[in-house]
Chain A
Amino acid sequence: MSTTAATAGAPFGTLDISTTSKVPLLRLVKVEMRKMIDTRSGLWLIIAIVAITALITVIFFFAAPDDDRVFLNYIGIMATPQGFLLPVMGILLITQEWTQRTGMVTFTLEPHRGKVIAAKVIAALVFGLLAVLVATVIASIATGVSGAPGAWADIGSDDFAKFTLLQVTGVLQGLAFGLIFLNSAAAIVTFFVLPIAFSIVASLWGALEDIAPWVDLGTSQVPLFEGTNLTGEQWWQVLTGTVIWVVLPFLAGLIRVLRAELK
């Protein structure tokens, strides 16, 4: 076997890779976005997110007093159902590769696993932002129909920023839990049960309740829902909660996937 592979033309038995370029990240993102909607379960999850967002708007329209039918309230009530479903989407985007074992194909097509995960993160964020857009559109329509006095008052860019931050954090947390468990059921159950377990323990153990805003993401995010301005301390609490529940699990999960054996 020739050792001067660099000379023109590949020696017999050697691949000529000079004309092949790497798979661009954008192409992987496109593929990952497609994977979210090309199965019935994935498609229905997206439909459910849109439908529930619309449904809760209708319920609020009939249930709330006229004066409360303002834009910020509409956006506010959408945060909760979307906050439940967007993380599930993030979880499934990761775990389908393991539960359905498609990872063997995915990580053969692109052996650089970090790149595939990056594409999944971007794809999930795009869907998260689309959900925010859908929420804004539905809230605008509902507000217009309501015609309440001062319905469009006090809307600042920070309101959109907070709403977006909530949804994006939810998506990333879903991805992180997916990466850690690599199993849909375990990741989804843990995602929903852990905060409940935390609040039960906190209610029994006072010390934990005191530090809850710092260590429990659900607690630290409460001010983000309320439409008030956050204090410096509250922003720090959002940050620490996010590090504990999103950043650290994500890093641990990423390390796990980079090292895992796929079979």
Chain B
Amino acid sequence: MITLENVTKRYGQFTAVNDISFVAQSGKVTGFLGPNGAGKSTSMRIMVGLTPQDGGDALIGGYRFADIPNPSRHVGVLLDASAQHDGRTGREVLRLSAETMGMGLGRVEEMLTLVGLSGPESKRRVRNYSLGMRQRLGIANALMGDPSVLILDEPVNGLDPAGIHWMRGLLRSFAAKGGTVLLSSHLLHEVEMIADEMVLIGRGKIVARGTKEELLQTRGTYVKPEDPEALQKALQAASIEAVPSGDGGFRSDSEPIEVGRAAAAAGVVLAELKAAEGAGLEEMFLQLTSDHARDSITPEGVQV
């Protein structure tokens, strides 16, 4: 379990992380979502003590990261897949970590196999690795110490669809065994597939959090009439706001039953009438973060 309480980090006038609090539960995959520069990486670096925070507490399983003896045996961390020595082979990178943690060399081979980098690829220098291979190597590094908590910054970045599918299976089974997973991303479709819970961050502030279902709950209607003009008039008459969706249909914030009644009252024939599909996490996410961005531009600066 990862607990952040009122964590704040400032760089001069700029507040990169602004009083954020959230909990990533054991047994769940928590997605940490936000556009680039929202404060995800800074928050994650604070969790593992690489960046000192200006206020608040970041605890992992009840402890500050630095207070956990041999922390890699409890917390697997991947913050930047490209932060590896170009001149070392994949196997050597893992070997250094394994030796530091006190894991046997057999564990190195085990991890290389797990992430599909065993064989000749393990002997190539990281310089010659693609981003996807570096991500796999980083995952192997994070899992090396058999941890119960994973903190992964943009782990899906650079993976091909098969790789994303693999990562999903890996992280879901990790969580199913009671592990805690926190992974960040700026690409929502990827995380949508993996995470149980989501924390949305924009401009250093938490803008929304909850389960995927909670966040996706939407109101509204999609309606497609035989005669668009007739329906538009009918809706106006019933004071229902609707916007053309471009395919001869309309979207409205009202419930389908209300739209249906208005159409029936005016005798308009409908080809389709249904509850609007979830706007999509991405749309909501963009809206939330841009709303937040607008709110925060005040005469006092970026802080609200």
Q: Please give the residue numbers on chain A whose beta carbons come within 8 Å of chain B beta carbons, in ascending order.
A: 1, 5, 10-15, 17, 20-23, 27-28, 30-31, 34-35, 38-42, 96, 100-105, 107-112, 259, 261-263
* CB–CB B99/A27 < 8 A: yes
Can you list 8 A-B pairs, Cβ within 8 angstroms, ordered by A? A13-B25, A13-B180, A15-B68, A20-B70, A22-B69, A23-B69, A28-B100, A108-B49
Name the A residues within 8 Å of B63 (CB-CB): 15, 17
Can you list the 6 inter-chain pairs with the closest CB atoms, starting with the nearest?
A15-B61, A13-B1, A39-B87, A101-B83, A14-B62, A111-B66
* CB–CB B70/A21 < 8 A: yes
Query: Which of B1, B48, B102 has a CB less than 8 Å from the CB of A27?
Result: B102
Q: Is the interface of A mostly helix, strand, loop or mixed?
A: loop
Given A17-B63, A21-B69: A100 and B86 interface contact (C-beta under 8 Å): yes
**Chain B 34-62 near chain A by CB (<8 Å), digits 1 or 0:** 00000001000100111110000000111
Query: Which of A15, A23, A34, A107 has a CB less than 8 Å from the CB of B102?
Result: A23
Segment at the A interface, from B72-80, B189-197, B242-250, B268-276: B72-80
For residue B185, CB closer than 8 A to chain A, the reply is: no
* CB–CB B83/A102 < 8 A: yes
Number of A-B contacts (CB under 8 A): 119
Given A20-B70, A22-B69, A39-B88: A27 and B61 interface contact (C-beta under 8 Å): no
For residue B96, CB closer than 8 A to chain A, the reply is: yes
For residue B141, CB closer than 8 A to chain A, the reply is: yes
For residue B15, CB closer than 8 A to chain A, the reply is: no
Report the bound CA distance from A100 to B88 in whole Å: 11
Report the bound CA distance from A206 to B66 in whole Å: 52
Q: Is the interface of B mostly helix, strand, loop or mixed?
A: loop
* CB–CB B74/A262 < 8 A: no
* CB–CB B52/A27 < 8 A: no
Report the bound CA distance from A5 to B62 in whole Å: 9
Report the bound CA distance from A104 to B78 in whole Å: 9
For residue B82, CB closer than 8 A to chain A, the reply is: yes
Report the bound CA distance from A11 to B80 in whole Å: 31
For residue B18, CB closer than 8 A to chain A, the reply is: no
Name the A residues within 8 Å of B50 (CB-CB): 104, 107-108, 261-263
* CB–CB A38/B100 < 8 A: no
For residue B121, CB closer than 8 A to chain A, the reply is: no
Query: Which of B51, B77, B99 has a CB less than 8 Å from the CB of A34?
Result: B99
Report the bound CA distance from A92 to B1 in whole Å: 38
Report the bound CA distance from A28 to B180 in whole Å: 28
* CB–CB A102/B84 < 8 A: yes
Residue ID in chain B nearest A1 by CB atoms: B62
Name the B residues within 8 Å of A34 (CB-CB): 95-96, 99
Within 8 A of A (CB), among B92-106: 92, 95-97, 99-102
For residue B285, CB closer than 8 A to chain A, the reply is: no
* CB–CB B74/A17 < 8 A: yes
Residue ID in chain B nearest A40 by CB atoms: B87
Report the bound CA distance from A15 to B75 in whole Å: 10
